Amino acid sequence: GTKTEIKNMNSFRSVQRAIDSEIERQTRCIEKGEKIVQETRLWDEGSQSTHPMRSKEEAHDYRYFPEPDLVPLAIERSWVDSIAAGLPELPAARRERYQKEHGLKPEDAALIVESRDLSDFFDRSLLKNAQAVAAANLLINVGIKYLKDNKLEISQTSLTPENLVNLVQAVETGKLSSTNAKVLLPVLMESGGSVTDLVEERGLAQVSDEGALKETIEKVLQRSPEQLADFRSGKKPKLRQYFFGEVMKDTRGKANPQIINRLLDELL
């Protein structure tokens, strides 16, 4: 392939992002049938992209010269293979595995892999049969913020892979809403404990009683006559989300969202 040189990177993360950006740029060029130019490019941290600095047409423009005191070095393939076999899984391989085997989005896989500690924790959760996408969403949307705010690695918290799995399962089985799962995750990271006990102690169990939820929805509709009229007239179809939010507010986020949506369809 054609060589490009990239300058102005001040961290290993910048090096990785610059390489990723250059791969994307060259891929776009090739797909458009454009020629890759041998040049030096500048990494721009702000735009997360590279820009041309100067072109170099031939190898001599780089001021290359041979080292006369170095003898030819023959490396056996078996030696290279043995070293490769002993290497740990590299970040790029992890990102690919998370996407192909566990269905994570590329950007989510990248966020998990940014921290070796977090990635190792995620892998231990997968070994406990965690639902990968749901576990990743909790870690990304809540866990990473907690870690940054407290300047911690996840191994320095009280969260265990088992608790993350239990939290995800509580949502999947309808025992806990996804909203309250996000409330509990920082608690588990701070002081640990049992997911089941915390749900019970804090009164966070998800409400799936259709009779009780129907009664709550009817109360919301009764106190919102203007909004109900606007919605039913077709003027403001987005008010449906307002009613949903009011029900969640009245139930302190404990109502089962699937049941709410179905009942709203019936009552609206």
Residues 80-116 pLDDT 10s: 999 988 988 999 999 999 999 999 999 999 999 999 9
- Residue 18, classed as helix, strand or coil, is helix
- Residue ranges per domain, the chain? 4-62, 91-201, 210-267
Q: Tokens 């049969």, residue?
A: 129
Helix locations, 151-194, DSSP H: 161-172, 178-191
Question: What CATH number belongs to 210-267?
Answer: 1.10.10
DSSP 62-128: GT----TTPPP----HHHHHHHHHHSPPPHHHHHHHHHHHH---HHHHHHHHTSHHHHHHHHHHHHT
Query: Rounded mean pLDDT of 192-203?
Result: 92
Distance, in Å, from the CA atom of 1 to the CA atom of 18, rounded to the nearest integer, reads: 18
Does residue 183 carry a pLDDT above 70? yes
Q: Which of 87, 99, 105 is nearest to 141 (CA)?
A: 105
CB 182 within 8 A of CB 212: no
Max distance between CA atoms of the chain, in angstroms, equals 90
pTM: 0.61
For 49-61, how does the pLDDT look when each residue is reduced to its tens digit (9 = 90+)?
Answer: 999 988 765 656 6
Please say whether the dihedral angle defined by the alpha carbons of residues 143, 147, 152 and 153, taken in this order, is positive or negative: positive
pLDDT tens digits for 61-89?
666 677 888 888 899 999 999 998 898 89
Cβ-contact 102, 132 below 8 angstroms: yes
Angstrom distance (rounded) from CA 75 to CA 80:
8
Residue 146 has pLDDT above 70, yes or no: yes
Please give the pLDDT value at position 61: 60
Share above pLDDT 70 across residues of the chain, in percent, rounded to a whole number = 97
